Amino acid sequence: MCGIVGLHLRNPELYPRLGKLLTSMLCEMEERGADSAGVAVYGDPTWSPPGTVTVSVLESGLTAGELSEALTAQLGTEVSVHQADATQLASAVTDVEELKTAVAEIAPEALICGFGQDLAVLKGVGHPRDLAEAYGLRSAEGWQGVGHTRMATESAVTPGGCHPYAVGDGQCMVHNGSFSNHATIRRELRRKGVEFDSENDTEVGARFIADRMIEGSGLEQAVDALAENFDGFYTLLVSDRDSFAVVRDAIACKPAIIAETEDWVAMASEYRALAELPGVEDAILYEPEPNRIYAWSRKQAELKEVAIA
Amino acid sequence: MSTAIDTLIFDLSTTTLREANQALHAEDLTGEVLITNPRGAHAVAAGVDAEVQITVEGHVGYYAAGMNKHAAITITGNAGVGVAENMMSGRVHVQGNASQSAGATAHGGMLVIDGDAAARCGISMKGVDIIVGGSIGHMSAFMAQSGRLVVRGDAGEALGDSIYEARLFVRGEVSSLGADCIPKPMSQEHHSELRELLDAAGYSDDDTRDYTRYGSARRLYHFRVDNAASY
């Protein structure tokens, strides 16, 4: 089943409340998936200090202090590491690829679960409510957040199988549904040199989109290609630093609801996840149509809507 | 909604849904009921079997008013997946929009949706009358067996796929018709039938001549020995 939530704040006065709002949304979706939960938060000053790039790391085998020391020595610049439950958030004023490479060299077994400016990705196995507490999600700040509660169907319950999948710079994807031909497409992508962290179907979708975008496709074209190549069901929420986009497959059996006010745009699997949002009683509420990309950006206030060919 | 002393009120921010639904299943239930703060909860006022009037103030989640028998249930907001699914009789009125599978498999009664209904509206309907004020999504009235579906707006792709004997009336555009579903002429009988449905749903100003009737071509569900190899 799985539950997905996303909140994109338009009114900066709400930024300090992002974590609190996202926590209520995520916890309300606990019944849709209670084996793991992950979040991505854009703009929290503790998790991803302004002016730095942040790499989110799982299972490094080192303490935060050890990782910070080793990374600082490796890069010759101060690298801070913040521990948020199982996730370590390494931040430095440097190039994000350099920081990623340094993490991979120091902790080769570690899982890099997100990277980019202003982005922290936290994942864990367990009950969403416990995880939100352990992450300290309630006190997070920022302008945008996405979350996922997982009911595993296609791969094991591990931190690596937990969403969001953040495989591009500042990008994230959460997915409600399942891809049935993911093994075939994973093989094709591996042949092209794409590396994978898990056996998860959604990771294949995320890496497929990232691969298409590296080859020059826009997000719409990449999602169009995903619709063409993947068998299965999906409601997807794809985000980057400035924007987020919602798309449902042509069959649209996986639910989604969008709410918009002047202060925020929110998306969730079900309305009840939105019920606590301030001003929801006056929000414009609608169900996104199948095969249509709904995208919002901080740079352009208006909703962009594109039908998939 | 009357505020008379016999109005039973359940505030779902302070009463559990189970308590409210159990009270609605009492044998001797009569009168009027008000449910407030549903906040998208599932199965609100499901399984009611009494001649009562229930008003739900706000948005509901999945399967609201499911299996309804006899009750008149009004939802002032939007409804989630499967509103009034498997309704047997009575009336369910959604004043906002409904998500997918509204009125699925319902045997009787009337479902009125003032806004839009999403995909699979009236899927496998078995006798219910559904009147949608706005438009409906794809695969609506799939394998619809009997009853009437009236759509004042447009219908999405594959309307009435594999339809049996349900009757569909659409005022707007139909994106595409499903297998074995065809437009049919409107005789006086159909104009009268549609008039009654529109009046009952509160859309008395509609002109029945603006509607097109759709139904089964009956080529699919009769067994033909010539096609035996295809089954």
Whether residues A66 and A103 share a domain: the answer is yes
B41 with A252: Cβ contact below 8 A: no
Which residues have C-beta within 8 Å of that of residue B63, sequence separation ≥ 6? B42, B43, B46, B80, B81, B82, B83, B85
Domain boundary residue among A117, A138, A169?
A: A117
| Chain A residues whose C-beta sits inside 8 Å of any chain B C-beta | 252-253, 255, 257, 270-275, 285-287, 289-290
Q: What domains lie within chain B, and their CATH numbers?
A: 8-221 (2.160.20.60)
Of B59, B118, B138, the CB nearest to A271: B59
Whether residues A104 and A22 share a domain: the answer is no
Contact A175, A235 (CB under 8 A): yes
Domain boundary residue among A66, A89, A117?
A: A117
The pTM (predicted TM-score) of the whole model is 0.92
pLDDT, residue B224, reads 77
pLDDT, residue A124, reads 94
Domain boundary residue among A99, A117, A135?
A: A117
- Residue A43 domain flag: no
Whether residues A175 and A300 share a domain: the answer is yes
Whether residues A25 and A99 share a domain: the answer is no
Whether residues A209 and A235 share a domain: the answer is yes
- Residue A44 domain flag: no
Residues of chain A contacting residue B97, judged by C-beta atoms under 8 Å apart: 285-287
Task: For chain A, give the mean pLDDT.
Answer: 93
Q: Is B201 exposed, middle or buried (0-12, 13-18, 19+ CB in 10 A)?
A: buried
Answer yes or no: is pLDDT of A160 > 90: no
Domain tally, chain A: 2
Of A252, A275, A287, the CB nearest to B39: A275
A20-47 residue pLDDT tens = 999 999 999 999 999 999 999 999 999 9
Whether residues A173 and A270 share a domain: the answer is yes
Q: In CATH, what number is assigned to the domain containing residue A144?
A: 3.60.20.10
Residue A105 belongs to domain spanning: 49-117
Of A255, A271, A273, the CB nearest to B78: A271
A270 with B118: Cβ contact below 8 A: no
Section B194-198 average pLDDT: 98
A269-279 residue pLDDT tens = 999 999 999 99
B80-95 residue pLDDT tens = 999 999 999 999 999 9
Q: Hey, of A233, A249, A287, which one would you mutate to test binding to chain B, going by the most B CBs within 10 A of its CB?
A: A287
Answer yes or no: is pLDDT of A309 > 60: no
Whether residues A61 and A18 share a domain: the answer is no
* Active-site residue, A2 included: yes
When mean pLDDT is compared across A79-83, A119-123, A198-202, B183-187, the lowest value belongs to A198-202
Closest approach of A7 to chain B, Cα-based (Å)? 18
Whether residues A274 and A243 share a domain: the answer is yes
Answer yes or no: is pLDDT of B1 > 90: no
Note the ipTM here: 0.89
Q: In CATH, what number is assigned to the domain containing residue A68?
A: 3.30.70.2730
Whether residues A93 and A139 share a domain: the answer is no
Whether residues A228 and A303 share a domain: the answer is yes
Residue-level length of chain A:
309
Encode burial over A205-234: b for 16+ CB neighbours within 10 A, e otherwise: bbbbbbbbeeeeeebbbbbbbbbeebebbb
Closest C-alpha among B165, B208, B164 to residue B188: B208
